[in-house]
Amino acid sequence: MQYLNTLESWKSDKATAVTLGKFDGLHRGHQKLVEQIGRYRSDKVAGIICAFDMGRDSLLTSAQRKRRLEGKADCLIECAFTREIREMTAEQFIDEILVKRLRAAYIVVGKDFCFGYQKRGNIDVLNDYSGRYGYHLDVIEKEQYQGREISSTYIREELEKGNVDTAAKLLGYRYETEGVVIHGRRLGRRLGFPTMNILWEEKKIAPRFGVYACEVQIDGKAYRGICNVGIKPTVSDEAKLLTEVYVFDYDEDAYGKKISVRFCEFERPEKRFDSVEQLKAQVEQDIRYGKAYFS
């Protein structure tokens, strides 16, 4: 699979099947678009996913998006939503980008897809121009959950509440974070439960601060544990956003290793304790909660 960061970088004489959007989170609705692109792929037709970066915090990092799309298209173009693209008329966008640049034979979008200056382009405009330019348009219906259309906004709202189980149902996979284990204050080790600290990923939405049951991947192996997302107010005055993980049944040195943490269920919000003793008692309770959750 090819990865590009500008539309101009795509250079091929092949016809293409193209889907476009923000693809923030690659939720179940986005997955339907990608699956439809896959149906058109052949020796003569390349599948292209064009993900526009809107310049705000996302549900997915670029690396995570690439992993989830690996093998599902011929090319992923992650490009900035530039002023030039934003100010194109709808017909310019179709003519210059979809037809001349990408050579689209098939265009796959959701029913609310908008493009062009002041978002004047929509599925009706795409349909109107399909005869002139000779492409086939597929408009995919929105996926729903409990009577509401699945969207990035819906997922963000659930994460803000700590509802990571609902977010997983909307995404089609568990929400996760990843990073390299860094040195902390070693307080957990002194208290009898050594933890792993990773910095929260830049430009990625954090769920509600607090404690979660979680699954942890270390060296390709799956473990279970609990984690705290937040700034550790009892032991630190730094406003540094961290995920601190206690992994059950793991006693190796993880410093410098890259781990991923998948959120399973919210237990409680982050809070400041008056003493380290109170913190220890609460963590012991959190560990009991986590083990009960997985049992």
Specify whether 12 is located in the same domain as 65. Answer: yes
Q: Which residue has the higher pLDDT, 158 or 56?
A: 158
- Dist. CA 241–CA 56, nearest whole Å: 18
Specify whether 171 is located in the same domain as 210. Answer: yes
Specify whether 25 is located in the same domain as 52. Answer: yes
* Mean per-residue pLDDT, 44-64: 94
pLDDT exceeds cutoff 80 at 239: no
**Nearest in space to 191 (alpha carbons), one of 259, 278, 289:** 278
pLDDT exceeds cutoff 70 at 69: yes
Cα separation of the two ends of the chain:
40
pLDDT exceeds cutoff 80 at 89: yes
Q: pLDDT class for 54, splitting at 50, 70, 90?
A: confident
Q: pLDDT class for 235, splitting at 50, 70, 90?
A: low
Flag the least confident range among 39-53, 95-109, 126-140, 272-286.
Answer: 272-286
Specify whether 226 is located in the same domain as 288. Answer: yes
* Mean per-residue pLDDT, 236-254: 86
Identity at 26, one-letter amino acid code: L
The residue among 100, 119, 142 that closes a domain is 142
Specify whether 225 is located in the same domain as 91. Answer: no
Q: pLDDT class for 238, splitting at 50, 70, 90?
A: low
Model pTM score: 0.93
The residue among 87, 107, 142 that closes a domain is 142
Identity at 130, one-letter amino acid code: S
Q: Residue 125 belongs to a domain with what CATH number?
A: 3.40.50.620
Q: Which residue has the higher pLDDT, 279 or 42?
A: 42
What is the predicted pLDDT for the residue at 233? Answer: 60
Q: pLDDT class for 268, splitting at 50, 70, 90?
A: very high
Specify whether 122 is located in the same domain as 26. Answer: yes
What is the predicted pLDDT for the residue at 168? Answer: 98
Interval 165-220: pLDDT, tens: 999 999 999 999 999 999 877 666 667 788 999 999 999 999 999 999 999 999 99
Cα separations in angstroms, 268 against 137, 191, 235, 274, 289: 47, 20, 18, 17, 10
b (16+ CB within 10 A) / e for 151-168: bbebbbebbeebbbebbb
Specify whether 14 is located in the same domain as 136. Answer: yes
Q: Residue 39: in which H helix or E strand, if any? A: helix 28-40
Specify whether 187 is located in the same domain as 84. Answer: no
Specify whether 193 is located in the same domain as 274. Answer: yes
* Mean per-residue pLDDT, 35-62: 95
Q: Which residue has the higher pLDDT, 268 or 192?
A: 268
The residue among 142, 167, 196 that closes a domain is 142
What is the predicted pLDDT for the residue at 234? Answer: 55
- Dist. CA 3–CA 7, nearest whole Å: 11
- Dist. CA 246–CA 222, nearest whole Å: 13
Domain count, the chain: 2
Specify whether 138 is located in the same domain as 156. Answer: no
* Mean per-residue pLDDT, 128-157: 97
**Nearest in space to 117 (alpha carbons), one of 82, 90, 147, 80:** 90
Kindly give the interhelix angle for 164-171 and 152-161, rounded to the nearest 10 degrees.
160
Please answer whether residues 21 and 51 qualify as being in contact, where contact means their C-beta atoms are separated by less than 8 angstroms.
yes
* Mean per-residue pLDDT, 23-51: 97
- Dist. CA 135–CA 133, nearest whole Å: 6
Please answer whether residues 27 and 171 qualify as being in contact, where contact means their C-beta atoms are separated by less than 8 angstroms.
yes
What is the predicted pLDDT for the residue at 163? Answer: 98
Q: What domain range is 123 assigned to?
A: 2-142
Specify whether 75 is located in the same domain as 7. Answer: yes
DSSP 3-state assignment of 208?
coil
What is the predicted pLDDT for the residue at 251? Answer: 87
In the structure encoding, which two tokens stand for residue 72, read together?
A: 């599902």
DSSP 274: S
Specify whether 107 is located in the same domain as 221. Answer: no
b (16+ CB within 10 A) / e for 241-250: ebbbbbbeeb
Q: Residue 176 belongs to a domain with what CATH number?
A: 2.40.30.30
